[in-house]
Amino acid sequence: MKYPSLVSDILRSNSSYDVLAWASARINLLGEHIDYNQGYVMPASIQFKTITCLKKNGKNEYYFFSDHHPTVHLSGIKKQSHEKAWVNYLLGVMDKFSQAGVSIPYFDCTIISTVPVGAGLSSSAALSCSFALALQNFLKLNLSLEELAKIAQWSEHEYAGVKCGLMDQTASLQGKHSQILIMDCLTNKVEYIPIQLSKEKFILLDSGVKHMLDNSAYNKRRQSCEEGFNSIRSHFPNVHSFRDVSLNMLDVIQNEEIKKRCQFVIQEIERTQLAVSVIKSNNVKALGSLMYATHHGLSGLYEVSCEETDYIVDELNKLPTAAGARMMGAGFGGCVLALVKADDFEHSLHVLEKKYRDKFALKLKHYEVTIDDASGCILPSIA
């Protein structure tokens, strides 16, 4: 097995761990806010990894160390707050294993991560998924990656309060090198399609802002869609999911805000369905147009964009060196995913960085995207 270079570095400096497991950050080409609306999503796992290292400690406490957060030690599973809240993602996973009757020996847990935090790249899924994968190997269990993804999702719902879909955890564990996942969020089935770009590349432009102060805006979007769907279904009983809903059915929804949210969902599902053939035929121009259309919907109808990400996308839309761009992830800041000319974008990037700094007094960071195998695990004693 080929390990991420960070794993090799950790092993070189300390090989006494019982288990090392890793999971990835993700991008999402299209299908934003669609995983909990039973549509299709198109994520891919990328080069940023979170690694969980576990070692039985023979003490009476669990120790959690991180390169980004304060150390926490606990004798049992007890939700934490403030700066220690980062361990809740892990405690939720432990809770789920405990509920299944598994006893968890005390351990030292070290988390090392290269995933940018607050950038909308699913750092929390990478954390909980790498931990779930490490823990199941530590406990010598044999759950599938899909089951582990669901455990990590449960943890996010119950221990972090975000009623997220299953996209991030699926990509974080099941992504593959140079492949886009097409996830059917009704059945959770995953297919892979290769993405071959020769003259273009994906880059992430990090707005450097995160406006969402808590998770309520995300959970509210989910609730609005559920309410909208229930009204539609009460008038059209043959409708089983948003996939069966057409725009003219939206007339039965009285609340204008809910109507807008549902309009976005219907149109975004259509875009992801179109995108499959667009990617297969390598039609960069059409893929870029779908990305701009998604951004337009996320900004105007779903209202999860913000001034900074709107600005970045608008500026890219004026450039011949960018084929497409859109805000990515839950929204309210974070990253813009852009499809740009591989050789000619550098100058445009410098100009954009300067304009962004002048307008918002913020540094526009950027990350080149490498679509990479998502997860893995090793037991150093038998490696």
- Which residues participate in catalysis according to the annotation? 168
Cα-based distances in Å from 265 to 31, 329, 336 = 9, 15, 20
Strand, helix or coil for residue 182: strand
Shortest Cβ 330–ligand GLA spacing (Å) = 4
Question: Tokens 């823990």 — which residue?
Answer: 135
Amino acid at position 54, single letter: L
* The one among 25, 44, 90, 167 contacting ligand GLA by CB under 6 A: 167
Residue 164 engages ligand GLA in binding (rule: CB under 6 A): yes
Shortest Cβ 210–ligand GLA spacing (Å) = 13
Instruction: Mark residues 36-55: x for contact with ligand GLA by CB under 6 A, - for none.
Output: x-------------------
Helix, strand counts (H, E) of the chain: 10, 13
Shortest Cβ 20–ligand GLA spacing (Å) = 25
| Interior/surface letters 278-301, b for 16+ CB within 10 angstroms, e for the rest | bbeeeebebbbbbbbbbbbbbbeb
Shortest Cβ 25–ligand GLA spacing (Å) = 11
Residue 308 engages ligand GLA in binding (rule: CB under 6 A): no
CA distance 221 to 362: 28
In whole angstroms, how large is the CA radius of gyration of the chain?
21
Nearest to 323 by CA among 306, 337, 340, 311: 340
For ligand GLA, which is the closer residue by CB, 275 or 319? 275
CA distance 159 to 87: 9
Residue 315 engages ligand GLA in binding (rule: CB under 6 A): no
Residue 136 engages ligand GLA in binding (rule: CB under 6 A): no
Question: Tokens 């307008």 — which residue?
Answer: 359
Residue 107 engages ligand GLA in binding (rule: CB under 6 A): no
Residue 35 engages ligand GLA in binding (rule: CB under 6 A): yes
Q: What are phi and psi of 80, to 5 degrees?
A: -110, 160
Residue 33 engages ligand GLA in binding (rule: CB under 6 A): yes
Strand, helix or coil for residue 338: strand
Beta bridge partners of 376: 22
Helix axis angle, 307-317 to 345-360, nearest 10°? 150
Q: What are phi and psi of 355, to 5 degrees?
A: -60, -40
For ligand GLA, which is the closer residue by CB, 299 or 348? 299
Task: Identify which range of 49-57, 162-170, 194-202, 254-262 contacts ligand GLA by CB under 6 A.
Answer: 162-170
* The one among 330, 337, 369, 377 contacting ligand GLA by CB under 6 A: 330
Looking at residues 112 to 131 of the shown chain, list those that interact with ligand GLA (rule: CB under 6 A). 122
Shortest Cβ 298–ligand GLA spacing (Å) = 9
Residue 32 engages ligand GLA in binding (rule: CB under 6 A): yes
Shortest Cβ 15–ligand GLA spacing (Å) = 34
The number of residues that bind ligand GLA (CB under 6 A) is 11
Q: Which residues bind ligand GLA (CB under 6 A)?
A: 32-33, 35-36, 122, 164-165, 167-168, 329-330
